[in-house]
A = this chain, B = another copy of it.
Amino acid sequence: MISVLLVGKGNVATHLYNTFLSVDTIVFTQISSRKLEHIPKADITIIAVSDDAIAEVSSKIKNPFVVHTSGSCSINELKNATNKGVFYMLQTFSKDKKVDFNEVPFCLEADNESNYLLLEELAKLIGKKIYAVNSEQRKALHVAAVFVNNFTNHMYKIGNDVCNEYHVPFEILQPLIKETALKIETLSPEKAQTGPAIRNDKRTIKNHLDLLNNEQQKIYKIITKSIQNGN
């Protein structure tokens, strides 16, 4: 049996709450980060609050082992006087969509071996994909996630804008979007690259630029150049 205290009521906390409740071997309590007068004891205290609140909330907790769930904060942003760790789940959590925790990578860190094993034990009770990731690696993952998620989504946005401009349904592109993402499971992005930039097909590139507005052209040019330079 592992006892877990979850501090926070936000998006990540809610998804964790639902999955913890479904496991018999987890003794589980949840409190709001605004009510820290009486803090229940627990083997692992998970602070699932905004990055800015981690220091303050953790400073008020005297439980033996306190972890946060942030991708961009170092383990040292925890200000409790006891042991520290990180329980970072790298996935987009949407409010109304159920999360399949078997598909969520758990990126774990702790300030000593036995605490790491305790975190791993907890993660294995709700998920399958477990990784030891230190604070520097987690920061790198967080930047990489911005590229593959936020920036990729912006590529979809520009594709959508071009479709709207020329009155063609964006849904035509959806099978391609899906296939592009699935391809990367078996092929490196470098090997998966196709299109006019990598072929240096100047005629097609010129034709494309003619169809775009100024802002879209800037992005088209810089990414095309980056593909051609291999960086």
Q: Give A residues with C-beta under 8 Å from B.
A: 51, 72, 90-92, 94, 103-105, 107, 129, 131, 133, 136-137, 139-163, 165-170, 172-185, 188-190, 192-198, 204, 207-208, 211-213, 215-216, 218-220, 222-223, 226-227, 229, 231
Contacts of A152 in B (CB 8 A): 152, 155-156, 177, 180-181
Min Cβ gap A229→B in Å is 7
Residue of B nearest to A215 (CB): B231
Residues of the B chain whose Cβ atoms lie less than 8 Å from the Cβ of A72: 204, 207
CA distance A24 to B172 in the complex (A): 28
Q: Are B184 and A90 in contact (CB under 8 A)?
A: no
Is B189's CB under 8 angstroms from A181's CB? no
CB distance from A175 to the nearest CB of B (A): 5
The 8 Å CB contact of A92, one of B156, B169, B179, B229, is B179
Least CB distance, A224 to chain B, in whole angstroms? 8
Residues of chain B lying within 8 A (CB to CB) of residue A173 = 90, 141, 144-145, 148
Kindly identify which residue among B92, B156, B165, B208 contacts A148, using a CB–CB cutoff of 8 Å: B156
Give the residue of B143, B144, B151, B156 whose beta carbon is less than 8 angstroms from that of A223: B151
Number of copies: 2
- Residues of B contacting A146 in the complex (Cβ-Cβ under 8 angstroms): 195-197, 208, 220
A229 (CB) vs chain B CBs: closest residue: B215
In the complex, which residues of chain B have a beta carbon less than 8 angstroms from the beta carbon of A159?
144-145, 147-148, 189
Report the nearest B residue to A169, measured CB to CB.
B131
Q: Which of A153, A188, A193, A213 has the most CB of B within 10 A?
A: A153
The A interface, classified by DSSP as helix, strand, loop or mixed, is helix
* Bound-complex Cα distance A192 to B95 (A): 12
Q: Smallest distance from the beta carbon of A184 to chain B beta carbons, Å?
A: 5
Which residues of chain B come closer than 8 Å to A179, judged between CB atoms?
91-92
Of A94, A185, A223, most buried by chain B (CB within 10 Å of CB) is A223
Which of B142, B177, B193, B195 is the one whose CB lies under 8 Å from A181?
Answer: B177
Which of B143, B193, B194 is A157 in contact with, Cβ under 8 Å?
B193
